[in-house]
Amino acid sequence: ARTAQGPAASDLAGPRAASLPVPAQLPLDLPTFTGRRAELAEVLAPRSSEGRSAETVVISAIGGMAGIGKTTLAVHWAHRVADRYPDGQLYVNLRGFDPSGAVMRPDEAVRGLLDTLGVPPERVPHGLDAQAALYRSMLAGRRFLVLLDNARDSDHVRPLLPGTPGCLTIVTSRNQLSGLVAAHGAHSLTLRPLGTDEGRELLIRRLGAERVSAEREAAAEITALCAGLPLALACVAARAATHPHFSLSAVAAELREAHG
């Protein structure tokens, strides 16, 4: 059967869907991930019960400044719970803050997801509303994890949200996405810079406990000079790792000089 706007969802979500390979699109989890214990406990707690996750569509918007570790945390969390979503894990980088200006439009994202779900191009209906409806139909009654990375605002992701219980949607953005909280009951988590202890843990994972423990004050200063931003700390740690003869005090001095 076919509607005026495209194929009926039942034509696509039946035996054909069952024969498709399970998508596993999550980016690689960071082997040196560390810290964020409180944040992980917060987002994992509501999903500790299978019963609850089956009753509602859960959307978690992770907000925070550039380099704060939104994507890293979201990917790590998604890998932690991926086995709860056996029908697949979908990932889209929406490029909401791409400096080149190449933001992915919602219709582009929906078409990409439909392609992943096995919908032939000729059977994709015209118009964003019809495409989003087909996408929701494909996910209905199934357990998918959907990671929408780098969203610009709430309107950027609304067409990509599953419409029935059983799916987990994780959204990252530099903005708070209060529209998702208000209209969709999203759980909002705002990341803060790493503290001294978590910054030291990150450096230990990258440089080894012996080197960092020998210069605890320098490690604390490096964390402060990097404003507690995991990306900045990772870059500094990479430089220190490739120059093992550098003391952390020397690295901190370089950062002080760079700060003027």
pLDDT digit string, tens, across residues 114-128: 999 999 999 999 999
155 & 93 share domain = yes
The predicted pLDDT at position 52 comes to 46
Question: Residue 227's pLDDT is what?
Answer: 95
Report the pLDDT value the prediction gives residue 45, as an integer from 0 to 100. Answer: 75
pLDDT higher than 90, residue 237: yes
- Burial of 26 per CB tally in 10 Å (0-12, 13-18, 19+): middle
CATH number at residue 19: 3.40.50.300
Q: What is the mean pLDDT of the chain?
A: 87
For residue 98, what pLDDT is reported? 85
Q: Please say if the pLDDT value at position 20 is more than 80.
A: no
Q: Do residues 215 and 185 share a domain?
A: no
* Helix 248-259 / helix 230-242 crossing angle, nearest 10 deg: 130
Domain boundary among 190, 211, 246: 190
Q: What percent of the chain has pLDDT over 70?
A: 86
Residue 171 sits in the same domain as residue 248: no
Tracing tokens 């990341």 back to the chain, one arrives at: 191
- 171: β partners: 61, 148
User: How large is the average pLDDT for residues 107-118?
Assistant: 97
Query: Is there a single domain that holds both residue 156 and residue 243?
Result: no
Q: What is the pTM for the complete model shown?
A: 0.87
pLDDT of the residue at 46: 58
Average of per-residue pLDDT across 195-214: 96
The domain boundary, picked from 190, 224, 244, lies at 190
For residues 41 and 217, which has the higher predicted lDDT (pLDDT)? Answer: 217
Residue 255 has pLDDT above 80, yes or no: yes
Residue 153 one-letter amino acid: D
Which of 190, 205, 234 finishes a domain? 190
pLDDT band (50, 70, 90) for residue 19: low
* Higher pLDDT among residues 15 and 253, named by residue: 253
pLDDT of residue 4: 47
- Alpha-carbon distance 130 to 120, whole Å? 15
Q: What is the pLDDT of residue 15?
A: 46
| DSSP H or E stretch at residue 198 | helix 196-207
Task: List pLDDT tens digits, range 56-106.
Answer: 455 667 777 889 999 999 999 999 999 999 999 999 999 999 888 899 999
Tell me: do 120 and 231 sit in the same domain: no
Q: Does the pLDDT at position 178 exceed 60?
A: yes
Give how many domains the chain has, as a whole number: 2
Task: Say yes or no to pLDDT of 172 above 90.
Answer: yes
| Angle made by CA atoms 212, 40, 163, in degrees to the nearest 5 | 145
> Are residues 181 and 206 located together in one domain of the fold?
no
Do 232 and 177 share a domain, yes or no?
no
Task: Let me know: does 27 contact 77? Beta carbons within 8 Å.
Answer: no
**Chain segment 40-49, per-residue pLDDT in tens:** 888 887 554 4
